Structure 1
Amino acid sequence: MKHTQWILGLLLTVGCTKTNHADEGNHPEVKQVTYIESKADFPNPERGFYRYSETRVDDYNLLEEEELKGYRDVQNITGAGYSVLSTLVFRYFILEGYNNKPLPATFLENFKKDAATARKAGVKLIPRFTYTVTSNAGSCPEGFICPPYGDAPKNMVLQHISQLKPLLQENADVIACLQMGFIGTWGENYYTDYFGDASSNGQSKLLNNNWADRGEVLKALLEALPPDRMVQVRYPQVKQRYIYGVNAPASSAALTTEEAAQENDKARIGYHNDCFLASANDYGTYEDYGNSSSPRKEATTAFRNYFSMDSRYVVVGGETCSDDYSPQNDCEPAGKAEQEFGEMHYSFLNAHYNAEVNNDWQTGGCMDNIKRKLGYRLVLKDGTFPDKVTPNDSVAVMINLQNVGYAAPYNPRPVQLILREKSTGEKHVFEFNTEIRTWLTGSIQLKQAFRLPAGIKAGSYEMLLNLPDKYASLKEMPAFSVQLANEQVWEPATGYNQLNHTINIQN
């Protein structure tokens, strides 16, 4: 009965800004705490501007811990007029020379070393594997790039993925997401010797067997990762034709709220758009590449609509590639850069390329907003908490937050209420029943009653909110916990966020 009255009392006090005392009966006292939003830019896991790196199988340059740690602080970008801080490192693994033979053990061992370095440095990787990053000019129709391009046949791609699978599984904690790669120059799935050349150098579209072959590679990559990690594809049609078949129309259904975070294939395929706001269709990103019975054709509106809806619950990132689409790719009001980031739910972007486009955001005045809002940005608004309880009571809390970023978090993580006794440091951890991957831009409410554990000692307990990494290897490392965008809440030594309220547990 006491618990029921407590909850009723809590509901009646929402909106108050001071301690409320029940008019009659033995009701716990409750208090509403309000919070001040911070406008600072600070590092948070799995979001923001990423730093670029590349390495080759036979000329492997290992990542360096101190350099990666430095990325978490504000640094100038070479050749650019802006500075960034980063928790993500894009890692190009160039498999040149291994188009027809297995990857050597030394390469696999170096991959493990890179993952260990990232773990120590407090950053995560965005890996992409490719056989070539070279464009050979010639007398072919495209001119600047001509076949043979230098990628690998399907059987070798699948063999390499099989070799990498144990490493991807073992080091998934520091893999933010994996880009599909492998197919074509730069791993962008376009200029390819073996998977259907959709350029004017080749057949100018994709055939049914090309879609099927690409689907096999995507399936192998999804299976090479644990189910809580996503694979990014370069074109939305790759996902549609993997999920719905080679005849899937551009109007195919996007991921729904009910399907989100289910960790099946449909919920695990995101996007890397490597030509963000480069043209009306982002240089072929939003294009129908046909099949054996249909031609290649324009489908920008349909694919943009699909991308916008589907990307609410999957990871989106990429890079800019051309400043020719100006003023559209500039800051508002002349352009629509921030609008596009929000509508397409971007979580990360290349800090280095294309600096001409990114520089325009600095001079245009929207770069600071973009730096803060890429991915999630969670702000505490207010919370309602009990002032004192007995060990037999439940602790009912209501916390209102707002995600002012462009996207929801794309990897799972627990959301915890922590009670920490002020004199002894004794901690009790309670987990909210919520799915952080559905925390879209807008309001979020955490409302739950927690039963105190048997034997809890009387005392004064600080209340904290903790959003640690899911993986045991990282969950105690503050660099991988989420900092809320508020003044005077972050504890850098623990990775906890202070709720600025103390609850007294009385016998």
Structure 2
Amino acid sequence: MALLLALGLLALGGCTGWTGGGKGPSAEPLYAARPDGVYLAGKPLPLYGLNWFGLETCDRAPQGLWEGRSVTEILAQVRGYGFNALRLPVSPAVLRDEGNVASWAQIGDPAYPQSPLAGLRYVLEKAQGLGFYVLLDFHTFRCDLVREQLPGKPFDPARGYTKADWLADLERMARLSLEFPNVFGVDLANEPHALTWAEWKALAQEGAQAVLRVNPRILVAVEGVGNASDSGGYPAFWGENLTEARDDLGLGDRLLYLPHVYGPSVSSQPYFSDPTFPENMPAIWDTHFGHLSTRGLPWGIGEFGGWYTGQDRVWQDRFVEYLRGKGVRVWFYWALNPNSGDTGGILQDDWKTPVQEKLDLLRRLMAGPSGLAFDFLPAEGEVVNPERGFASDSYYPDEPSLDAEAKLAEARSQGFEVRLIRRTYYLHAFAGQDTLPSSFLQTLAQDLANAQAAGVKLILRFAYRPDENRANGPSYCDPPKERILSHLAQIGPVLRQHLGVIAYLEAGLIGPWGEWHSASPEAALMDPLPGYQEGSQPPCGRQNYDRKLPNPKTLEVVQALLQEVPGRKVAVRYPMAKAKLLELEAGGPVGTYPAATYFTPLTPAEAHGNTLKARLGAHNDCFLSSENDYGTYYYDPGPQQDLEREYWSQDTLYTVMGGETCTPGPYVPPGEDPAGYVYRQFQRFRFSSLNLHYHPDFIRWLRETPFGSGSLLDALKRDLGYRLYLRRAEVSSNQLRALETLTLRLYLENQGFGGLYNPKGVELVFMREGDGLVVGRVLDTRFYGPVPGGEAVYTYTVQAPPEPGVYALWLRIYDPDLPEDSRYNLRLASRLEYRDGRNHLALYVQVR
């Protein structure tokens, strides 16, 4: 606690903290202190903390275990209230493993070690498992020194403890910090009230160096002194006075100022009886420590608290508003313990019942208002996930078999983390035979198995013509419809056996590259566009781009393909083609351009059904190549082209859009910013995937074009496909009986270009602390998430586990076709722990 010089004060409080990662320090800081708070690995880390005392006393154990509650039970309870940080006061006896642990420690926690140092490690381990960040507080150099006996400085040779002893103990804390990455800092000395600022500054610099020599990745916390009054005549509590602090002590982002401050229940200061109280307080706080904000120096609060009654309630209410106004995101309330004589605690005397009014007060300082909810920050950069992102490319028979692992390695060498491969099978060698060779079917099956072994999904296309028919070149023909249907009937069983690794299919089968133009007149799988005069042609035709109008044969082929891959979407090359297929299915005319009514996008009620309209998606293989994307849209600018563009923009809310570029650079209308225009077009048409190989010059342009804080390529890596940001998770209760009903609410936003085009399963996983017992409850088996750019709230009712314990809540979003393969699970685009295919919701429940 922060206490007033020359007055009798509490015997509890202090400072020392450390943090680590791995088995030794790294050159890169893990934690950093900045003017707006603490950062972990470059990301903001709000710290909503409690002081839990006991380890610094001669009991050498955290208090409260005598009430029959374990360390895990106590921590899980307050973690459930929204606290994510602890300040643990310690003494040299614990650090040096000297003396005995109080016998009551094993009353509530039979596993609590009888060694003081092992006990500290035990608490740190349990805190880490429950998601707590820890600040170790060097509270006092002798456990028997309390209240007025506290020396007010970190060492006292007259009492047998020297500066060298203090520095050695700081090093012990720093070495211990290397074991526990959740320990973020060392509080160098608790309330050095007997020192001037100049004296304390010099010692703090020396103590900080002792810590950082051992572990340079953590923070050092420096409290204020406790002079009787500052230059304005306002008395300061012990640890509060940072009036003279003007710089970072030469520590840069390793320094975090952590003053202590209290209200009337600790000491009756003259300003508490001022007629303007509590509105006189902000100026005093600014004088003592708030001025650090104007100097760009990071600070939080190491201790504050009090009884929540009378004047102390008024003081705490005003102080919380002050901290809110300052944007303070690092604070530690005194105390968790109810037996703090001047302040009380968060828990009542039974060490179980919360002081609800205090919780309500502190929730005003939390981003998530309670342990019943947790608010997440969005993740940065690409979140690698199945069925989205840049895709590698592979062609049969040029590549007789798919080496999926090699494709991933090749893409990684170019800076891409690939979870999709587009595999195109050119079947021209079999175009003249009704039966496909068994060797090809075996190759297809093995390719699909290889994809699963590599943890990727495939975009499949089957085609009979690997190129256009050019003068003096080879001539490729579309097979007759009956032969295509026969081939599909043979391919279908193989595809269904491996359906889980198929992301979607491109319609293919007709025309050069399977792109649905220049159809062979002989097979007549497509008609010419109205008004097109084909004239005389060599066998199978040449580049007849206008022979692209679907007819009944086209519809029959597409329906057969859809039948062979139940549940999967099939992407077609042109918006006109989908509209015409829908018109033909409805019995509409043959040989005409589709009527405008068939360019009506899917509605939410129609989405993801088993209809032709719901299952036909889109691919654009000449994206951003010209005004009409080389015939993707109606040739001439005007209402019809606008209709087709808008149709695809809205229809792909519920289907899939993929493809590639085909020109060295993008077509950009005059007056448009190239980078912004290109990004908006990908966003408008809701792209889920893009070929990373073609066109190589276009990909190079994306890489070299600045956009935002990086390149346009970086932005596309991040935003292609779905990007599910869990903004908030809520539970109805964190104290449950066995098998009691729990309500879970998830607030999700889709920040990506595209959506989920295949259904996912959702499971809430209860993982018990200690033994890792897992209890799963399936919430949904046909989850599609919010549409691109949309948000939604999902509410689920679920039954608690049957066995007692403290359970962490994890969310598993899995592939129903591959439910046991966690490589196909979805990672949320939130700053959270992702482990074994599960997203940690940062919430805990206790089952009794």
- Range of TM-score over shorter length: 0.7 to 0.9
Match of 1:300 among 604, 617, 641: 641
Match of 1:219 among 556, 559, 562: 559
Read off the aligned partner of 2:828 and give its amino acid letter: L
C-alpha spacing 1:335/1:497, structure 2 compared with 1 (3 Å): closer
Read off the aligned partner of 2:572 and give its amino acid letter: V
Distance 1:338 1:325 in 2: 11
2:512 matched to 1:156? no
Give TM-score, length-normalised by structure 2: 0.51
Distance 1:21 1:110 in 2: 67
Q: Secondary structure at the match of 2:491?
A: helix
Question: What is the Cα deviation at residue 488 of structure 1?
Answer: 3.7
2:831 matched to 1:487? yes
Q: Secondary structure at the match of 1:118?
A: helix
Listed one character per residue, the Cα deviations across residues 284-325 of structure 1 (whole Å, up to 9, x for unaligned) are: 111289xxxxxxx98211111111111110011000111464
Give TM-score, length-normalised by structure 1: 0.83
Listed one character per residue, the Cα deviations across residues 435-464 of structure 1 (whole Å, up to 9, x for unaligned) are: 5325212223222221235xx100011100
Which of structures 1 and 2 has the bigger CA Rg? Answer: 2
Distance 2:399 2:665 in 1: 35
Distance 1:477 1:183 in 2: 35
Q: Secondary structure at the match of 2:823?
A: helix
Question: What is the Cα deviation at residue 426 of structure 1?
Answer: 2.1
Q: Secondary structure at the match of 1:213?
A: helix
Matches within 5 A, 1:133-212: 133-138=466-471, 148-193=475-520, 194=523, 195-196=525-526, 198=528, 202=534, 205=546, 211-212=551-552
Q: Does the aligned pair in 2 maintain the 1:231–1:269 contact within 8 Å?
A: yes
Read off the aligned partner of 1:111 and give its amino acid letter: L
Q: Does the aligned pair in 2 maintain the 1:391–1:452 contact within 8 Å?
A: yes
Distance 1:378 1:108 in 2: 37
Q: Secondary structure at the match of 2:443?
A: helix
Which residue of structure 1 lines up, in the alignment, with residue 794 of structure 2? 446
C-alpha spacing 1:317/1:106, structure 2 compared with 1 (3 Å): same
Distance 1:263 1:275 in 2: 29
Moved more, 130-139 or 277-286: 130-139
Distance 1:380 1:495 in 2: 15
Distance 2:371 2:379 in 1: 26
Matches within 5 A, 1:28-39: 30-39=371-380
Question: What is the Cα deviation at residue 75 of structure 1?
Answer: 2.7
2:412 matched to 1:74? yes
Distance 1:505 1:395 in 2: 11
Read off the aligned partner of 2:645 and give its amino acid letter: R
Distance 1:384 1:367 in 2: 35
C-alpha spacing 1:89/1:331, structure 2 compared with 1 (3 Å): farther
Listed one character per residue, the Cα deviations across residues 377-408 of structure 1 (whole Å, up to 9, x for unaligned) are: 11221222332211253112222222110011
Match of 1:87 among 405, 413, 419: 419
2:832 matched to 1:505? no
Q: Higher relative contact order by CA 8 Å / sep ≥ 6: 1 or 2? A: 1
Q: Does the aligned pair in 1 maintain the 2:805–2:847 contact within 8 Å?
A: yes
Which residue of structure 1 lines up, in the alignment, with residue 432 of structure 2? 100
Which residue of structure 2 lines up, in the alignment, with residue 353 of structure 1? 694
Which residue of structure 2 lines up, in the alignment, with residue 124 of structure 1? 457
Listed one character per residue, the Cα deviations across residues 180-230 of structure 1 (whole Å, up to 9, x for unaligned) are: 11101101010221324649793675598x51111111011011111x211
Q: Secondary structure at the match of 1:164?
A: helix
C-alpha spacing 1:481/1:332, structure 2 compared with 1 (3 Å): farther
Q: Does the aligned pair in 1 maintain the 2:634–2:641 contact within 8 Å?
A: yes
Moved more, 374-383 or 424-433: 424-433
Q: Secondary structure at the match of 1:279?
A: coil
Distance 1:330 1:89 in 2: 36
Question: What is the Cα deviation at residue 52 of structure 1?
Answer: 0.5
Question: What is the Cα deviation at residue 174 of structure 1?
Answer: 0.5
Read off the aligned partner of 2:830 and give its amino acid letter: N
C-alpha spacing 1:330/1:347, structure 2 compared with 1 (3 Å): farther
2:770 matched to 1:426? no
Distance 1:283 1:329 in 2: 18
Distance 2:548 2:700 in 1: 40
C-alpha spacing 1:459/1:331, structure 2 compared with 1 (3 Å): farther
Q: Secondary structure at the match of 1:312?
A: coil
C-alpha spacing 1:421/1:360, structure 2 compared with 1 (3 Å): same
Distance 1:498 1:169 in 2: 33
Q: Does the aligned pair in 1 maintain the 2:420–2:456 contact within 8 Å?
A: yes
Matches within 5 A, 1:275-424: 275-287=622-634, 299-323=640-664, 325-328=666-669, 332=673, 335-365=676-706, 366-385=712-731, 386-391=733-738, 393-424=740-771
Distance 2:832 2:622 in 1: 39
Moved more, 356-365 or 157-166: 356-365
Q: Secondary structure at the match of 1:232?
A: strand
Which residue of structure 2 lines up, in the alignment, with residue 3 of structure 1? none
Q: Secondary structure at the match of 1:467?
A: strand
Listed one character per residue, the Cα deviations across residues 92-144 of structure 1 (whole Å, up to 9, x for unaligned) are: 111122112021000001100011111111001111111121234329xxxxx
Which residue of structure 2 lines up, in the alignment, with residue 460 of structure 1? 806
Question: What is the Cα deviation at residue 63 of structure 1?
Answer: 1.7
Distance 2:720 2:690 in 1: 8
Question: What is the Cα deviation at residue 495 of structure 1?
Answer: 0.6
Listed one character per residue, the Cα deviations across residues 27-76 of structure 1 (whole Å, up to 9, x for unaligned) are: xx8522122322132421000000010112xx7621225314536x7331
User: Which blocks of at least 5 consecutive residues in structure 2 are unaligned?
Assistant: 1-80, 84-345, 347-353, 358-369, 536-543, 707-711
Question: What is the Cα deviation at residue 148 of structure 1?
Answer: 4.6
Distance 1:439 1:303 in 2: 24
Q: Does the aligned pair in 2 maintain the 1:330–1:336 contact within 8 Å?
A: no
C-alpha spacing 1:68/1:363, structure 2 compared with 1 (3 Å): closer
Distance 1:369 1:325 in 2: 16
Read off the aligned partner of 1:497 and give its amino acid letter: N
C-alpha spacing 1:383/1:60, structure 2 compared with 1 (3 Å): closer
Q: Secondary structure at the match of 2:761?
A: coil
Over the matched positions of the two proteins, sequence identity in percent amounts to 30
| RMSD between aligned residues | 2.9
Distance 1:211 1:21 in 2: 73
Q: Does the aligned pair in 2 maintain the 1:287–1:298 contact within 8 Å?
A: no
Which residue of structure 1 lines up, in the alignment, with residue 268 of structure 2? none
Aligned length: 456
Question: What is the Cα deviation at residue 363 of structure 1?
Answer: 1.6
Distance 1:392 1:329 in 2: 64
Q: Does the aligned pair in 1 maintain the 2:383–2:723 contact within 8 Å?
A: no
C-alpha spacing 1:100/1:355, structure 2 compared with 1 (3 Å): same
C-alpha spacing 1:22/1:213, structure 2 compared with 1 (3 Å): farther
Moved more, 121-130 or 153-162: 153-162
C-alpha spacing 1:416/1:330, structure 2 compared with 1 (3 Å): farther
Which residue of structure 2 lines up, in the alignment, with residue 45 of structure 1? 386
Listed one character per residue, the Cα deviations across residues 138-158 of structure 1 (whole Å, up to 9, x for unaligned) are: 29xxxxxx8954322212111
Distance 1:435 1:345 in 2: 21
Q: Does the aligned pair in 1 maintain the 2:382–2:719 contact within 8 Å?
A: no
Question: What is the Cα deviation at residue 338 of structure 1?
Answer: 1.6
Q: Secondary structure at the match of 2:482?
A: helix
Distance 2:579 2:645 in 1: 13
Q: Does the aligned pair in 2 maintain the 1:68–1:121 contact within 8 Å?
A: no
C-alpha spacing 1:334/1:466, structure 2 compared with 1 (3 Å): closer
Read off the aligned partner of 2:461 and give its amino acid letter: R
